[in-house]
Amino acid sequence: MYKPVLEIDLGKLKDNARVEKELLAKHGIEVMAVNKVFDGCVETAKAVLDGGIDVIAESRTYNLKKLKDALGCKTCLLRSPCLSEISEVVKYADISLNSEKVVIQALSEEAVKQQKVHQVLLMVDMGDLREGIWFEHIDEIIDTVKLILSLPGVELYGLGTNFNCYGTVLPTVKNGVDFLEIARKVEKACNIKIQYLSAGNCTSYHLLDKGIWPEGLNHIRIGGLHEFGIEYVDMKYLDEFHHSNKPVEKACSDMYKLYAQIIELNSKPTVPVGELGVDAFLNSKTFVDHGVRKRALLAFGRQDVPAESCVPIDDNITVLGQTSDHTLVDIEDVTQTLKVGDMIGFELDYTALLMACQTSGVEKRFIY
């Protein structure tokens, strides 16, 4: 059976995890590796563990089950638990992100049943408008921490916040310091020392890169940094990490390559002939006449991986577009001789990697 192939370089991923761990450790920061883009892939999680990071985070409990069964590592559920999955969360996640008292109470009850202690990372929304107790509601934050401290079967892992995922709010010195101040108020009110202040995701790294990281923030949940070697706020490659040689604006990586087979090869006009309507996805299109050019039809489509997130390895190849099952590329300027049955390769950005790992229509191959 034919499938396009996603090639993942586990050696480079391991190297990047090691470098990331060491860089953050110099600043007293613990790192939790986010594996969700790989859809619970055991091999990628193991590469990161081998690189020295000891907590793997996923946003789906069924993926945590895969990792627990295969690797037995410490795990974190990144998405707030559903009430309907509490049993699985306690069984397969050592830590989970939370903001709702009713969910925390349910975790406590289930943890007692399973004779476990489940750790709660209580989320505070510093303005990005996704999960968390709103930062101005300090009494609610304190009350929720007191609840966690009072319940059996759960303990406070730390306070967490998130940036740049929904509201596009950037991590800054100001919102970092404000988060620290909230933590200090909680510590005073509850007479505790909070172990971890988890200050966001890979976009938070730019504060470290600029040398302006607020002292006291000591934890980060991160994926994109070791997965792509990119600092995403200023959009630049970090030379300490393996990364692509393509323009950084393409945000792709040569650690992840998709190879698809040529199923048709010919020369055709660059403008359709006939009255135009919309495509299979109800989009209207505009075409520029470049005359007759050689093009290849590839055996993957939008239901597999979106072409706009795939960057041809050969810079002489241009992506023309996609249907659900086909991807069209211009190969007029390619210097090598291509034929039906040959493979054309692409580097992938985060979106393409996410989709390629999710679909059953793409086969994975690993480089060690």
Residues with a known catalytic role: 36
C-alpha angle 140-142-145 in degrees, rounded to nearest 5: 110
Beta carbons of 348 and 317 less than 8 angstroms apart: no
Q: DSSP assignment of 46-94, as one string?
A: HHHHHTT--EEEES-HHHHHHHHHHH--EEEE-SPPPGGGHHHHHHH-S
Cα 202 versus chain centre, distance:
9
Beta carbons of 104 and 143 less than 8 angstroms apart: no
Euclidean distance between the first and final Cα of the chain, in Å?
Answer: 25
d(CA 56, CA 23) in angstroms, rounded, equals 18
Residues in CB range of 89: below 8 A, 6 or more apart? 61, 77, 81, 96, 107, 110, 118
Helix (H) or strand (E) holding 263: strand 252-269
Count of residues making up the chain: 368
Tokens of 169: 């709010």
Amino acid at 331: I
